[in-house]
C-alpha cells in the first residue's frame, strides 16, 4: 500500500451557525492538507451542531450552495473531506455525512442506526458508503452505527481497511462506545478512527478524546478539550499516530 494519512478533526460547532462552522472546517482542512492528509472526517452534524428540532430547516442537499467553500478547498488542496450535516429527504431528514472529493464531486452517507429519540426528527439511511483512497478501502459510519457490530462487520466483509466514524459521544457513553470500536479494529483488522466534538452542542456535553485504533489497540488519542487533528499514517504494514493542535 502507498503511504496514506487519514485524520479525524476534533472541533466544536456553533449551534445553528453554518457559516461560522464552515470557517472552522476550512481551517482544519487546510492544516490537514499541509501535513499530507488524504481524508479528513469531522464530528456528527458538525456543520450545524446537534440540533434535531432544527434539522429540517438546516438540512442540505449534495448540491447545496453552502457547501461550495468546502468543495473549493477540497479541490485546491487535493483532499477528500467528510463533513457532518442533516441531509434533506422527502420526509424527515437523515443524519448525514457529505463526502467531498478533490474532483469537486459530492456523495453522501446517511446514518443507518439512530439513537433512541432521534427517530422523532430523523429517518434512517439504508445504504453503506465506502470509497477507494490510494488502494485502501475506506468505510464511513456515524455515531450509533458503531454500536451495532453488524455495521462494521458488513464493511469488513466488503474488504474495508479503514472504518471512519463521525460521532457525538459524552462521558457516560465513552468507555462502552470506544471499547466496541477497539474491538472492531482487533476483530476485523481495520483501522478504526473516531471524530468527536469537544464542546457542548444542543443539549449534550461531548467529551472529546477523538481516537484511532489498530488491531493492536489504541494508536493515538486527543484530550478532552483540545481542537486537534488526530492522524494515522500508513507506512508499509503499520500505522503511526500523531495529534496536531488546531
DSSP letter assigned to residue 147: G
Distance CA 35, CA 244 (A): 10
- pLDDT (0 to 100) of residue 143: 99
**Which pLDDT does position 237 carry in this prediction?**
87
Total structural domains within the chain:
1
Distance CA 224, CA 61 (A): 32
- On whether the CB atoms of residues 81 and 106 are closer than 8 A, the answer is no
pLDDT value of position 2: 60
Asked whether the beta carbons of 168 and 206 are under 8 A apart, the reply is yes
Please report, for the domain that includes residue 38, its CATH number: 3.60.110.10
pLDDT at 1: 46
Rounded Cα–Cα distance for residues 185 and 160 (Å):
11
Distance CA 232, CA 216 (A): 14
Tens-digit pLDDT string for the chain (246 aa): 468 999 999 999 999 999 999 999 999 999 999 999 999 999 999 999 999 999 999 999 999 999 999 999 999 999 999 999 999 999 999 999 999 999 999 999 999 999 999 999 999 999 999 999 999 999 999 999 999 999 999 999 999 999 999 999 999 999 999 999 999 999 999 999 999 999 999 999 999 999 999 999 999 999 999 999 999 999 988 999 999 999
Among 157, 147, 236, 230, smallest CA distance to 190 is for 157
The boundaries of the domain holding residue 208 are 5-245
Beta bridge pairs of residue 67: none
Q: How far apart are the first and last CA of the chain?
A: 29
Amino acid at each position: 500500500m502507498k503511504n496514506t494519512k487519514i485524520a479525524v478533526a476534533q472541533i466544536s460547532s456553533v449551534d445553528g451557525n453554518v457559516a461560522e462552522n464552515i470557517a472552522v472546517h476550512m481551517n482544519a482542512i487546510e492544516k490537514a492538507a499541509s501535513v499530507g492528509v488524504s481524508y479528513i472526517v469531522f464530528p456528527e452534524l458538525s456543520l450545524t451542531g446537534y440540533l434535531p428540532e432544527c434539522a429540517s430547516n438546516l438540512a442540505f442537499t449534495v448540491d447545496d450552495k453552502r457547501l461550495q467553500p468546502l468543495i473549493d478547498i477540497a479541490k485546491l488542496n487535493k483532499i477528500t473531506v467528510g463533513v457532518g450535516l442533516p441531509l434533506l429527504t422527502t420526509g424527515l431528514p437523515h443524519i448525514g455525512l457529505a463526502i467531498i472529493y478533490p474532483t469537486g464531486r459530492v456523495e453522501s452517507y446517511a446514518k443507518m442506526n439512530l439513537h433512541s429519540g432521534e427517530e422523532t426528527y430523523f429517518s434512517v439511511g439504508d445504504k453503506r458508503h465506502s470509497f477507494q483512497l490510494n488502494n485502501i478501502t475506506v468505510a464511513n459510519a456515524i455515531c450509533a452505527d458503531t454500536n451495532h457490530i453488524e455495521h462494521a462487520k458488513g464493511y469488513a466483509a466488503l474488504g474495508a481497511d479503514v472504518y471512519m466514524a463521525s460521532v457525538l459521544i459524552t462521558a457516560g457513553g465513552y468507555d462502552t462506545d470506544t471499547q466496541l470500536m477497539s474491538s472492531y479494529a482487533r476483530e476485523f483488522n481495520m483501522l478504526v478512527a473516531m471524530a468527536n466534538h469537544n464542546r457542548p452542542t444542543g443539549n449534550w456535553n461531548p467529551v472529546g478524546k477523538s481516537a484511532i485504533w489498530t488491531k493492536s489497540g489504541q494508536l493515538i488519542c486527543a484530550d478532552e478539550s483540545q481542537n486537534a487533528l488526530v492522524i494515522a499514517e500508513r507506512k508499509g504494514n503499520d500505522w503511526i499516530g500523531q495529534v496536531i493542535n488546531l
